[in-house]
Structure 1
Amino acid sequence: MVLVGAGSAPAHAESTRSQQWYLDRMHAEEMWKVSTGKGITVAVVDTGVDATNPDLVGRVVPGKDLAPRSPGDERTDYDGHGTGMAGLIAGTGAYGGGRGAFGLAPGAEILPIRIPDIANANSMGELATKDNPVFARAIRYAADHQAQVINVSQELMRGSPELTAAVKYALGKGALIFASVGEGGDSGRELNYPAATPGVVGVGAVNRDIFATATSQKGAQVDLSAPGVDMVHACGTKASKTGLCKTAGTGDATALASASAALIWSQHPSWTNNQVLRVLLNTIGGPTDGAKRNDAIGYGVVRPRIALQKPGNPGPAGKYPLPDFPVPEVITYPSPKASGADAQTAAAEQSGSDVPLWIGIGAAVLIGAGIAVPLARRRKSRGAQQPPSPAYAPSPPPHPTYAPWPASDPNPSGPGAPPGGQ
């Protein structure tokens, strides 16, 4: 996630809502007439969520603090990142009588689970031994506390048996897990976790052209994508004194994917996690080159509006729709997800242009067969600074007009399509 700098040039004439281009492209206000995510709890495994942010007041329920070295608790954000992800998911726009920043699912509740600050680690060895168990504990806590959707806009450079077991446990409890694939672009096609863990939906980022961003991690772990540039939303005061940020990254895209699932689940509360994910996949905007998936955008770009309008057959309740497991009902630890074509391919229609920059952090060591990769790097999905958004505007001008979000009929050939192409 990119956090704005105070010295960058603000867009003075624009209101908060008018800058949220991705909500216009996804026809959010049309969707909100049908579903706002009400009744769905989204766990945000991150740096904490500032429950006092005007656009999140009343949306943040008590959660779990797994970062005892940082001041406050899970409803205190030591960095600002977690509040940003929560804002993208469930921001209500309440600031100034409805002139604030909206999330894609403003009716959803946020369950914050605060994980330790990487800056407080004494060594890379400490990260290697402690980060994986903390992520596993966070996922289990979310599943045990009725979170239907678990959002992890963070990455680890390796998995673990504990993490795999936690994901299996959460799936068994009926949850869906979305995680950012990272910001490495084509560099080494590295696998980041938990996105690469079987049973986790790995999310990449697309720009305004609906192309994969240059630095959205490419590879087998990319299952689907969502907008991830010029994202304007509520955020923690550690990130911005105004409580408003403009950011970019696969973490931002992950928040929109999680919110998309919340919208669908709220409309169909009797569906299982597998059915919600299957419909999300079956209504996706797939690669335009005719491939079923590729390593840039996965199976395609989420289209929750189509999922709400034409959900189709949700399919079997107990069968996981992605090919992560050899036998769908029996979760094991197989080899990495099967990859597709190697391309940065657009999904559906194109409009506008933007390509962000990114920053990664970590130390490199030799592992396995002599490949140099970071041992236990953990990072928030964020990149180089973009021009800032202004503080909350006193009144919004009319929303700009954008080309419609891809709106062709659902693709029955997606990974979760039930028999007969329903």
Structure 2
Amino acid sequence: MTPPTLPARRRAKTLSLLLAGALYSGAVLAPHAAAESPQDPWYMDTWRVQEMWEQATGEGVTVAVVDTGVDASLPHLEGQVLEGIDLNIDPDGAHVDTQGHGTIMAGAIAGTGEGGGIQGIAPGAKILPIRVDKGLEFDFGQEDRWAQAIEYAVESGAKVINFSVGAEGVSGSPDGLEAAIAEAARNDVLIFAATGNSGESRNIISRSADFPGVVGVGAVDRNGDHAAFSVHGSRVALSGPGIDVPGYCPDGSWEEACLIERGGTSAATALASASAALIWSAHPDWTKNQVLRALAQTAEGDGQRDDYVGFGMIRPDRVILEEGVDPGEPDVNPMFDAYERALDPPVSPEPVPEEEPEEPAEEDAVPEEREQERSDAAASGAGGNGGSSNTPALIGVVGGVIILGGVAAVVIVSRRRTA
């Protein structure tokens, strides 16, 4: 399946569990459990990707992949990856990925499928690699680096930030990360984060997904049903394919990589980020609020959110290929409006009612005509009621509408979907 030609630090961690591998490989299946090739995973047909590519391929959109680095030397990522930055204490470069996790995420987003590699759903998008960890190791400054990563992504012009990594059990002040998330919101940048794969055990939300303003992504199966491993709770906003997603199993070198069918909330998040890139390239004039609203409206939950799949499995094809999608108000966030308006300064300040100009007093409205009326009245002896006594009264109506910030109440249906 070939796409059309493209236009050209201080954080104390009480329980260290960096999920560079866990968010993805937590849902490992048997090799080749699904028949599809890495160029044609099941969601390519479900989402009518070939048809979407006739409208948009993600061109003009940069997706920041905050992860373990991205190996840009692979054929399917050649020309897709920007320079990026390595924010680790001992940096090796953003294109170094000893874990393979970030490289898999980049492939799911913007891979071209060349050389037998992964085919991403937004091959026209560019990947901005931001390396923030090196794998399963103790790190007392991880979230500081996450904040730096967001700041760097925003400064570099990324429209979408993908967090398929996270941590559990961290403690300390979140001020720096919260400030970075707020600044991203002010700059019209969407942040997607994996909710985690401990749904069948601890069910603890991944740290990167538990902040207001971050879109938490869960995982579903081919039928759009909740994957049992996917963390459930109030922070789940949307879901993406998290089972039977193609990936690589690095076995000493990428040249001898083995294709296996994997998944997890990491992959689901990458596909959500890629979907946002597709929609934004098809509607470059939309704001992040409109892109997010379109994703929620067209998801398979039919407008109803629950704690297992959020609004349901995303369907970018419905936004791009079908009519009737209303992106809504550009300055109103469909999920975090109360949060964004409470920021200082707010992302979208309360609109100020427009005041109609005051009507001039009748005596001063048309002085020449009034003077003439007086002259005519004096000449006829009719007094002040003569001449233009039927002049209509002017009624000034001053109206103003204040849009109050707030998140619309949603009936949450507590239900458990099983994979």
**TM-score of the superposition, structure 2-length normalised?**
0.72
Residue identity in the other structure for 2:325: G
Q: Distance in 2 between matches of 1:111 and 1:173?
A: 17
Give SS of 2:270's match: helix
Give SS of 2:157's match: coil
Matching residue within 259, 268, 278 for 2:274: 259
Q: Distance in 1 between matches of 2:181 and 2:73?
A: 31
**Residue aligning to 1:405:** none
**Residue aligning to 1:28:** 49
Matching residue within 74, 78, 85 for 2:98: 78
**Residues 140 and 311 of structure 1: CA distance in aligned 2, closer, same or farther (over 3 Å):** farther
**Residue aligning to 1:110:** 127
Q: Distance in 2 between matches of 1:295 and 1:231?
A: 23
Q: Distance in 1 between matches of 2:26 and 2:208?
A: 23
Gap runs ≥5 in structure 1: 122-126, 347-354, 356-422
Q: Does 1:297 align with 2:316?
A: no
Residue pair 2:70, 2:95 contacting (<8 A) in 1 also:
yes
Give SS of 1:155's match: coil
Residue pair 2:246, 2:263 contacting (<8 A) in 1 also:
no
Matching residue within 114, 137, 147 for 1:94: 114
Q: Distance in 1 between matches of 2:411 and 2:135?
A: 31
Q: CA deviation at 1:274?
A: 1.2
Please give the residue correspondences for 1:117-156 in structure 2 after superposition, counting only pairs within 5 Å: 117-121=134-138, 127=139, 129-156=140-167
Please give the residue correspondences for 1:395-410 in structure 2 after superposition, counting only pairs within 5 Å: none
Q: CA deviation at 1:273?
A: 1.2
Per-residue displacement from partner, 1:171-201 (whole Å, max 9, x unpaired)?
A: 1111100000001115454332221110000
Matching residue within 220, 225, 234 for 1:211: 225
Matching residue within 15, 18, 25 for 1:2: 25
Q: CA deviation at 1:313?
A: 2.4
Residue pair 2:57, 2:125 contacting (<8 A) in 1 also:
yes
Q: CA deviation at 1:78?
A: 1.9
**Residue aligning to 2:416:** 344
Residue identity in the other structure for 1:277: L
What do you get for the CA RMSD once the two structures are aligned? 3.0
**Residue aligning to 1:365:** none
**Residues 338 and 80 of structure 1: CA distance in aligned 2, closer, same or farther (over 3 Å):** farther
Matching residue within 164, 176, 182 for 1:162: 176
**Residue aligning to 2:70:** 49
Matching residue within 278, 290, 293 for 2:293: 278
Q: Distance in 1 between matches of 2:25 and 2:253?
A: 10
Residue pair 1:68, 1:116 contacting (<8 A) in 2 also:
no
Residue identity in the other structure for 2:82: V
**Residue aligning to 2:185:** 171
Q: CA deviation at 1:283?
A: 1.4
Matching residue within 311, 316, 320 for 1:308: 320
Q: CA deviation at 1:330?
A: 3.3
Q: CA deviation at 1:311?
A: 5.7
* 193-202 or 258-267: bigger deviation: 193-202
**Residues 231 and 2 of structure 1: CA distance in aligned 2, closer, same or farther (over 3 Å):** same
Residue pair 1:91, 1:233 contacting (<8 A) in 2 also:
no
> Using CA pairs below 8 Å that are at least 6 residues apart, which structure has the higher relative contact order?
1
**Residues 320 and 3 of structure 1: CA distance in aligned 2, closer, same or farther (over 3 Å):** closer
Give SS of 2:60's match: coil
**Residues 236 and 82 of structure 1: CA distance in aligned 2, closer, same or farther (over 3 Å):** farther
Residue pair 1:91, 1:234 contacting (<8 A) in 2 also:
no
**Residues 216 and 327 of structure 1: CA distance in aligned 2, closer, same or farther (over 3 Å):** closer
Give SS of 1:340's match: coil
Give SS of 1:223's match: strand
Residue pair 2:26, 2:264 contacting (<8 A) in 1 also:
no
**Residue aligning to 1:181:** 195
Higher helix share: 2
Residue identity in the other structure for 1:255: A
Per-residue displacement from partner, 1:130-177 (whole Å, max 9, x unpaired)?
A: 111111111111111100000000122347121111111111111100
Give SS of 1:178's match: strand
Q: Does 1:62 align with 2:62?
A: no
**Residue aligning to 1:37:** 58
Q: Distance in 1 between matches of 2:331 and 2:253?
A: 41
Gap runs ≥5 in structure 2: 1-23, 347-405
* 277-286 or 296-305: bigger deviation: 277-286
Matching residue within 6, 10, 17 for 2:39: 17
Per-residue displacement from partner, 1:287-340 (whole Å, max 9, x unpaired)?
A: 6xxx82110001111000001123622222222110x35364333799xx9993
Q: What count of residue pairs does the alignment treat as equivalent? A: 330
Give SS of 1:55's match: helix
Larger Rg belongs to: 2
Q: CA deviation at 1:12?
A: 11
Please give the residue correspondences for 1:233-272 in structure 2 after superposition, counting only pairs within 5 Å: 233=247, 241-242=256-257, 244-272=259-287
**Residue aligning to 2:209:** 195
